[in-house]
Amino acid sequence: MIVHGCAWGNIGTRLDSILRTPDNGHQLKNYISLWVGYGIPDIAKVLYCTDQRVSLLGFGQLNNDEAHIFRLPMPPSLSAKREKRKLTVTLAWLSPTSPTTQKYRTASLWFEVSNEILAATRTDAEWRSVRRGTVQHEIFQGEQAVPLVDGDSLEIKVNCRNDAAKIPEAVSYGIVVSLEVAEGVNIEIYNEVRQRVRPAVRVLPL
């Protein structure tokens, strides 16, 4: 949860301006990651939601070549609006270790997001480097107008495979997803998403 609130912010921009050369553009994000990791944590972001920010939690267990799909309902009020959007996804898991190998972790988990239209631009850490450990934290942004209808959802697929060795038992993981627009924007995405993920109440016969 602490990692979920992390972002590079101004420090990433500052280090980019200091370290960039004509030859290292494709490696610059890796260099900055060595300095700041996932960035500075914003504790408030993980303690509570706002009208403009909604966060959801998920968890499960996976074996080799298994996957789970989570669906985040899209707020219809975002449809055709040119507003800045941010999608943050953090996946963490408890991998058995293989200390006799260089890879070390037995299980490799990673997520994939079907967000090409909603928020396709990756920011902060480089996408390949965030898959090397046991925490994958990525931030996506976008602001183009996209058509949405009630019932649309964003899919997040959590995958699992053997890495250093065969996985001896199912691997436990947790995932946090936040969708937000800028504070002050009159789009209350929290209530819209909340209503669409609320479990249906069963009506029992008398």
Q: What is the CATH number of the domain that holds 119?
A: 2.60.120.380
Residue 37 lies in a domain: no
Give the residue among 152, 145, 153, 144 at the shortest CA–CA distance from 80. Answer: 145
Residue 120 lies in a domain: yes
SS3 of residue 24 by DSSP: coil
Model pLDDT, residue 94: 93
Residue 204 lies in a domain: no
Cα gap 130→136, rounded to integer Å: 5
pTM, two decimals, is 0.89
Residue 21 lies in a domain: no
Residue 148 lies in a domain: yes
Q: Could you report the per-residue pLDDT of 51-69, keeping only the tens digit for each?
A: 999 999 999 999 999 999 9
| Average pLDDT per consecutive 10 residues, the chain (206 residues; last block may be shorter) | 92 87 82 88 90 94 96 90 91 90 88 83 86 93 86 93 91 96 87 83 56
Residue 11 lies in a domain: no
Question: Could you identify the residue written with the tokens 């490696």?
Answer: 27
Range of the domain at 178: 48-197
Residue 73 lies in a domain: yes
Residue 26 lies in a domain: no
Question: Could you identify the residue written with the tokens 């040119």?
Answer: 82
SS3 of residue 153 by DSSP: strand
Hey, which residues does 71 pair with through a beta bridge?
Answer: 155
**Number of domains present in the structure of the chain:** 1
Cα gap 44→32, rounded to integer Å: 24
CB 71 within 8 A of CB 155: yes
